[in-house]
Structures are given as structure tokens and as C-alpha cells.
Amino acid sequence: MEDEKQKCCQCNCGGKDEFLEKLCEKYQPVKDNLIQMLNEVQEHYGYVPKHAQKALSDFLNVPMAEIYGVITFYSRFTLKPKEKYNIAVCLGTACYVKGSQKIMDRLKERLKIESGETTPDGKFSIEETRCVGACGLAPVFTVNGEVYGKATVQKMDQVLDELSAKE
Ligand code: FES
């Protein structure tokens, strides 16, 4: 195990990333810990940076491609920092049946990006989310976690206009 820990410190974090060093000390170097470690990385950085992927790959002996596959499979993990305005549209059942897909489509159309992407100016990122616990207000979207209920395409347009006008 000592070897594995040293391996982690030789990753391209250069041994300078205290968070990653501590993380590798906290866990056993077994593949089963990947998701839990990714959760901690996501929480700490707000995304999963490349050097952290490399550190986990070295530490857990899991190929980078597999780590990338896990990150892109789960919507809670992101490869880039969240941007200034993160807009998430709930596609959970209650919201979906009330037309949240149309709201998502409008968002993509207006910002010209796909879910999980960020606008080139870094101002907006968008994502699809599952139930945010506000089904009574369906359909719902959130802006940086703030819930907008009884949403419509028009409401999304209005919010985008307001946010676009802000610095
Ligand atoms: S399904 Fe959208 S808030 Fe519950």
C-alpha cells in the first residue's frame, strides 16, 4: 500500500496538491473507491480536473479512459468548472410530463450549446437534472441552485434575457 501512496504523489499533481495527497491517504487503493473519491474531488474543486483524474488513475490503477467514462456517465460529475450561471432543467418524471424537455430545447437553442457544455464566453453552463424535490412546482429549472417553478419556454426566455443583460 505504501507503494501505491507513493505512486499517487508521483502523479502530475507533482505532490503539491494537498487535497489529493490527503484523499489518497484516506482511502485504500482499490477500484471500488473510485466513485466515492470522485465525489470528494467534485465537491472540492467543483469539477474533476485532469490532474485529479491522473492521480486517481495512478492510485487506483484504473485506466484514464475508464475514469473519463465514469465521469461522463454520471451527471453529478463535470469535467470543467461550473460557470457563472449554471442552468439546470429538471427532466425528472413530474417535470418531463409537464413539458420540461421543451424548456431544455429552448435553452440549448438560445445558448447554442448542449447539455453539459459551457458557452464560449464562460457565462452559462447548462445541464439536465433529475428530480430536485420540487415536483409540486413542475416543470422546474434552477439557476445556480435557485428554483424557478411552473416554468415555461417564455419564462426561460425572460430569465435568459435578464441574466444576459447582467455583467
Ligand atoms: S421531477 Fe422535477 S422536481 Fe421532481
pLDDT band at 6 (very low <50, low <70, confident <90, very high): very low
pLDDT band at 9 (very low <50, low <70, confident <90, very high): very low
The model's pTM: 0.54
Q: How far is CA 19 from the centre of its chain?
A: 19
The domains located in the chain, with CATH, are 2-73 (no CATH), 85-165 (3.40.30.10)
Q: To 10 degrees, what angle do helices 34-45 and 18-26 make?
A: 150
pLDDT in tens, 69-125: 999 999 889 887 766 899 999 999 999 999 999 999 999 999 999 998 888 777 898
Q: In what order do the strands lie in the sheet with 146-148?
A: 124-129, 85-90, 141-143, 146-148
R_g of the chain computed on alpha carbons: 19
Q: Would you tell me how many other CB atoms lie within 10 Å of the CB of residue 8? A: 25
Contacts of 112 (CB under 8 A, 6+ apart): 119
Taking 90 as the threshold, does the pLDDT of residue 58 lie above it? yes
53 contacts 68 by C-beta, under 8 angstroms: yes
Assigned C-alpha cell, 61: 490503477
State how far the Cα of 37 lies from the Cα of 8, in Å rounded to an integer.
Answer: 13
pLDDT band at 3 (very low <50, low <70, confident <90, very high): very low
Beta bridge partners of 16: none
Pocket residue to mutate for ligand 1, from 135, 146, 150, most atoms within 8 A of Cβ: 135
Residues whose beta carbon lies within 6 Å of some atom of ligand 1:
90, 92-95, 131-132, 134-135, 138, 140
Contacts of 99 (CB under 8 A, 6+ apart): 139
Q: What is the chain's mean pLDDT, rounded?
A: 88
- Measured in Å, residue 96 CA sits from the centre of ligand 1 at 8
